[in-house]
Structure 1
Amino acid sequence: MNAESAEPARRRLTRAEAKARTRALLLDAAARVFARKGFTGASVEEIAEAAGFSIGALYSNFGSKEALFLELLADRQTDRIAEAAQMLECHPSGTGEAAAELGRLLIDVADKDTDFAPLQAEFWLYAVRNPEVLETMAANLRTPRRALQQVISTSLAQQDAPAEVSAEAVATVVAALFTGLVRQRRIDPASVPEELFGDALKWLFAGINASGAAPSGTE
């Protein structure tokens, strides 16, 4: 048996698999180039070259630099939500263990994911000045927001929250709370200790259960 026949035959990627691989490589390259040059400073040519593809491949997969960045942002948010959901599967919401795990997740994002923070701020300013981009940004981030809504819905059911409480509204509050505390932690780390996010969530859910009223704007 020669070496060639001994090696297992490599399965050829399907068209869908090849497309998914190309997108993943472009996203990985974009994350590196954006981190180094910023959103405005990075060019599609540099990103495509870093990924080993043509500019045409980038445009055929994402359509624009803005769409590429928004996909990167949505993927990161989805990953964080999946992490939070996994934590809550191990430790039901409302427990000290769940609060501690969620607090550590926030600290990890605030203290370790420092390259992406300035990019988010830069892109937010860019989107605010370009309404069509802001609309696309809102649409892209609805998918991870729906995933968060599912996690919140489970938490509300576990805690027997009033039926009229909207999981969508609570998910919006939780997302804003997380984002705000991450930014505050980066500005003044001592003001956002590890346990604060978990404590804030306990206060939020305790308030929901105590009031029995839906958050404002959900009627």
Structure 2
Amino acid sequence: MARLSRAEAKARTRELLLDAAARVFAQKGYAGASVDEIAEAAGYSIGAVYSNFGGKEQLFVELLKERANDRVTQAAEILADAEPGEAHRAMSRLVIDVADKDTDFAPLQAEFWLYAVRNPQLMETLAERMREPRDMLTALVGRSVPGAAKADQLSTIIMALFQGLVRQRRTDPDSVPEELFGQALEWLFTGAEADEEQP
């Protein structure tokens, strides 16, 4: 097996720490999770957490951005590969997959929100970390919806809709059928396009 370069080893360590942090934060919440537990779950020393992230709070904030970026990247790949007329159905499947298979997603999203409202002095830091994934989504919406001048507002609504439907599906699966997110996106984009066409 080829030996990893220093940069590759560092990236791998960060990835394993983020994955472990996601599991521990989802299970125990921010307050209940310790750096020791996260390091142990990843198979590293506490020093690895501090050298890569500076501490629990920075790790938590970085995890927020990383997970949001991952979801937007998934959405971009789905839209790039989808046949015409299939994009909304493909996006609906993403909601179902996240809700049904990524059992840490909904608790993590709730934990991120709770952390932000309980720590108003860090609200701007968290908001700043979310701007990159939102900007990525805004660019994607701008390419996907011709004439949508309000792509930034649409991306905010899409993120909130996605998170809300995942949470609702985890709580009451029957209330969020497989096609619901795609249908909601169609309604949203149809309304946005109609608004653009008005004099």
Q: Say whether the fold is shared (TM-score over 0.5).
A: yes
For residue 191 of structure 1, the aligned residue among 159, 175, 179 is 175
Q: Deviations over 1:24-74 (max 9, x none)?
A: 121122223334433221101221233333323312211221221222232
Q: Secondary structure at the match of 2:154?
A: helix
Q: Secondary structure at the match of 1:96?
A: coil
Give the unaligned 5+ runs of structure 1: 1-7, 215-219
Q: Which has the higher helix share?
A: 2
Q: How many residues align?
A: 198
TM-score (norm 2): 0.87
1:12 CA drift (Å): 5.5
Are 1:111 and 2:100 an aligned pair? yes
Q: Per the alignment, do residues 40 and 147 of structure 1 end up closer, same or farther by CA in structure 2, a change over 3 Å counting?
A: same
Instruction: Judge conservation of contact 1:81–1:147 (CA < 8 Å) in 2.
Output: yes
Are 1:81 and 2:72 an aligned pair? yes
In the alignment, the residues of structure 1 paired with residue 131 and residue 164 of structure 2 have an alpha-carbon distance, to the nearest angstrom, of 19
For residue 62 of structure 1, the aligned residue among 45, 53, 68 is 53
Are 1:13 and 2:2 an aligned pair? no
- Percent of pairs with identical residues: 62
Q: Which segment is superposed worse, 203-212 or 110-119?
A: 110-119
Q: How does 1:42-191 map to 2 (within 5 A)?
A: 42-91=33-82, 95-156=84-145, 160-161=146-147, 165-191=149-175
1:131 CA drift (Å): 1.2
In the alignment, the residues of structure 1 paired with residue 166 and residue 40 of structure 2 have an alpha-carbon distance, to the nearest angstrom, of 33
User: RMSD of the alignment, in Å?
Assistant: 2.2
Q: Which segment is superposed worse, 33-42 or 124-133?
A: 33-42
Which residue of 1 is the match for residue 196 of structure 2? 212
1:183 CA drift (Å): 2.0
Give the unaligned 5+ runs of structure 2: none
Specify the structure having the higher radius of gyration (Cα). 1
In the alignment, the residues of structure 1 paired with residue 88 and residue 180 of structure 2 have an alpha-carbon distance, to the nearest angstrom, of 9
In the alignment, the residues of structure 2 paired with residue 197 and residue 12 of structure 1 have an alpha-carbon distance, to the nearest angstrom, of 41
